[in-house]
Chain A
């Protein structure tokens, strides 16, 4: 399955927006450089939620990845891209 980084980013945004309706505006404008913790205000449970949803959407497994292994949205996109290829 070949999915571009942009498509991955858009799907990630969809996941985040559906999980946090209040932050729709902020999350819709997210770029790859956005920090997951400081810019998006995600906690470790939010990260866990995002990873579970991502696994379901993309049909991949985040093998033994720690929540702190990702700092930016771009890190998550790169990981998904790597797994899909």
Chain B
């Protein structure tokens, strides 16, 4: 991995996002009592520089949950463009934490925005299922764009598994795996088949994290 730029600790541009995080964190901590579960010592190491967080998508509030996974870093979320046109759109725009994409016609501009954000040393979170899963709790098939994003930005992928509380008295469980260097998985310039293979491997890894959440 190339040495990544360090994200700035404070900047005026990040102020709205930081204020929202500060205001939302205490009630969230009290209500959800998130339990962070690391799969290994390497997973427990703090993420430095750019990283692509991938997670299962169980509901609208998942971005809040993933914030607890890497609570010490600002996160930027890849989201559908339509979300920005909802009532919450102005708040999301103000927070500046969203990278909207057109899922029906993914553009090179969006791709560049995501990779540039990672190259700047920031943490980007995306839900590779592409949408909230069907409610059965079963993960949908991952889309393989994340592998290309990781390769192009030369940033590792950090798999995260979310197990939201079923009842108000349950705790939120967040499983964090160690970073995966995608370029090592394919060894140089990948072929189409390798990209699909990497995606499968990441999905299997993500599925394994569920066992940690149940422990």
A residues touching B (Cβ–Cβ < 8 Å)? Answer: 18-22, 44-46, 48-49, 51-52, 61-69
Contact = CB atoms under 8 A, between A and B. Distances in A.
Interface of B: 102, 104-109, 111, 143-145, 148, 152, 189, 191-193, 195
Contacts of B152: 52
Contacts of A63: 108-109
Given A19-B191, A20-B191, A22-B193, A45 B148 contact: yes
Contacts of A22: 193
A19 B148 CA distance: 13
B195 A64 contact: no
20 contacts: A19-B191, A20-B193, A21-B191, A44-B106, A44-B145, A45-B143, A45-B144, A45-B145, A45-B195, A46-B192, A48-B111, A52-B148, A52-B152, A62-B108, A63-B109, A64-B109, A65-B108, A66-B107, A67-B107, A68-B104
Nearest to B104: A68
Given A48-B145, A48-B148, A52-B152, A64 B107 contact: yes
Contacts, number: 47
Closest 4 CB pairs of A and B: A66-B105, A64-B109, A68-B105, A62-B108
B102 to A, nearest CB: 7
Given A20-B193, A49-B195, 16 more contacts: A18-B189, A19-B191, A21-B191, A45-B143, A45-B144, A45-B145, A45-B148, A45-B195, A49-B148, A51-B108, A52-B152, A62-B108, A63-B108, A63-B109, A64-B109, A67-B105
